[in-house]
């Protein structure tokens, strides 16, 4: 059996190589590596795919989030609500931008913010809600949009792990993750859905007033918020090619996830990703949750049998995930384990992974 990898990019690259070579050659011929036509063309392609009014390509996710925050012109010290379970980089960017991150607990099934968990921490100085669509699973946007409107708050979607995930609003209206709030951000980091070779990202602008202001700036020769770091032309050329395959990438991960779901269905001690009526899960990661006392031992067992895995997420630096204030986030930080997930996994490898997970959990669970 071939070595099992956590992620893999060789097969997708081989398939795209002719188109990528042509795109790179065009950039090299122009020698225009910054804010060239490839960057503009990719922005338009992303707008057309997501059906969002305006996309601003960025060098990396942190730059995209900083640009999004600057667009909102929030007062210094303003509170921004973020999930207690998620990437600590969000908290770091908010602190660097002179905003106060306020943690809210998450749902035990979807691992995302809900209107109930957010409303508990809203104060008179709350300015925005930053909701993460985690591991490819959409947060319940319908209720979060309504909550933001009720309290006159900005809503920013962190869709860095959910490019191409579809959300269905009440009445049948819907669209992709990242386009329902006032602003969104997405990422093309190698571990994200689009599998960039670098750290590209984009700001997604949905609010009409923000769109009008940015278009006015563009007409005046100021294309981006001040200090914004734009995506390079080579990466933009790569992303324009890869964007045409994002649905195929997502479908491949969904197929692998379905295999895992079926294999673990009969094991009550293993919690698999939730399926919701309002959204399509694209499985940026395939996560299982087991009893906290089993998680680290299971990871060591998998490693001993040459099966990689990953742990997400510890508490943000400097902040505590107390079981009293954030019971769900605290439990998830001790129980979540991510399994290999990519299109190159073979059925023999999947069966081997599932066998070792199931055997360990059954043999070590308390009766």
C-alpha to C-alpha distance for 160 and 352, rounded to whole angstroms: 30
The DSSP H or E segment spanning 91 is helix 88-96
The single residue listed with the structure tokens 């929030």 is 74
Q: Could you tell me which of 70, 89, 168 has the C-alpha nearest to residue 128? A: 70
192 classed as catalytic: yes
Q: Output b/e per residue, 231-260; b: 16+ Cβ within 10 A.
A: bbbbbbbbbbbbbebbeebbebbeebbebb
Q: Which residue blocks in 305-341 are alpha helix, DSSP H?
A: 327-335
Direct distance between the N- and C-terminal alpha carbons of the chain, in angstroms, rounded to an integer: 34
Sheet holding 183-187, edge to edge: 54-58, 201-205, 183-187, 154-158, 126-132, 79-83, 100-104
DSSP string spanning 6-62?
A: S---HHHHHHHHHHHHHHHHHHHHHT--BS-HHHHHHHHHHHHHHT-SEEEEESSHH
Q: Could you tell me which of 144, 140, 141 has the C-alpha nearest to residue 109? A: 140
Check: CB of residue 133 under 8 Å from CB of residue 354.
no
* Catalytic residue (one of 15, 66, 192, 258): 192
Q: Could you tell me which of 154, 215, 187, 151 has the C-alpha nearest to residue 62? A: 187
> Which residues belong to the active site?
192
């Amino acid at each position: 059996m071939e070595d099992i990898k956590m992620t893999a990019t060789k097969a997708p690259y081989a398939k795209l190589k002719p188109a990528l070579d042509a795109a790179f050659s065009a950039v090299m011929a122009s020698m225009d590596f910054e804010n060239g036509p490839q960057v503009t063309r990719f922005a338009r392609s992303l707008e057309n795919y997501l059906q969002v009014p305006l996309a601003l390509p960025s060098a990396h996710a942190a730059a995209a989030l900083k640009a999004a925050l600057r667009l909102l012109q929030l007062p210094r010290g303003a509170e921004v609500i973020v999930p207690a379970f998620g990437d600590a980089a969000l908290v770091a960017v908010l602190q660097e931008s002179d905003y106060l991150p306020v943690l809210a607990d998450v749902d035990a099934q979807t691992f995302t913010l809900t209107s109930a968990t957010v409303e508990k921490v809203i104060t008179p100085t709350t300015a925005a809600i930053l909701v993460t669509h985690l591991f490819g699973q959409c947060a319940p946007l319908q209720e979060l949009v309504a909550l933001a409107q009720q309290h006159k708050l900005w809503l920013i979607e962190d869709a860095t792990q959910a490019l191409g995930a579809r959300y269905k609003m009440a009445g049948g209206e819907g669209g992709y993750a990242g386009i329902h709030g006032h602003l969104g951000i997405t990422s093309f980091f190698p571990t994200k859905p689009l599998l960039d070779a670098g750290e590209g990202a984009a700001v997604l602008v949905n609010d009409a007033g923000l769109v009008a202001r940015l278009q006015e700036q563009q007409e005046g020769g100021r294309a981006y918020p001040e200090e914004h770091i734009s995506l390079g032309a080579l990466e933009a050329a790569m992303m324009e090619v890869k964007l045409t395959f994002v649905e195929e990438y997502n479908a491949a991960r969904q197929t692998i996830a379905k295999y895992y779901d079926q294999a673990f269905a009969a094991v009550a001690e293993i919690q698999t990703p939730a399926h919701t009526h309002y959204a399509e899960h694209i499985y940026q990661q395939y996560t299982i949750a087991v009893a906290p006392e089993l998680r680290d031992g299971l990871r060591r067992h998998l490693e001993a049998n040459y099966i990689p895995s990953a742990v997400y997420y510890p508490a943000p630096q400097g902040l505590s995930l107390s079981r009293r204030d954030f019971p769900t986030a605290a439990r998830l930080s001790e129980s979540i384990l991510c399994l290999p997930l990519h299109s190159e996994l073979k059925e023999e490898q999947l069966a081997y992974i599932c066998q070792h997970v199931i055997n360990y959990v059954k043999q070590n669970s308390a009766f």
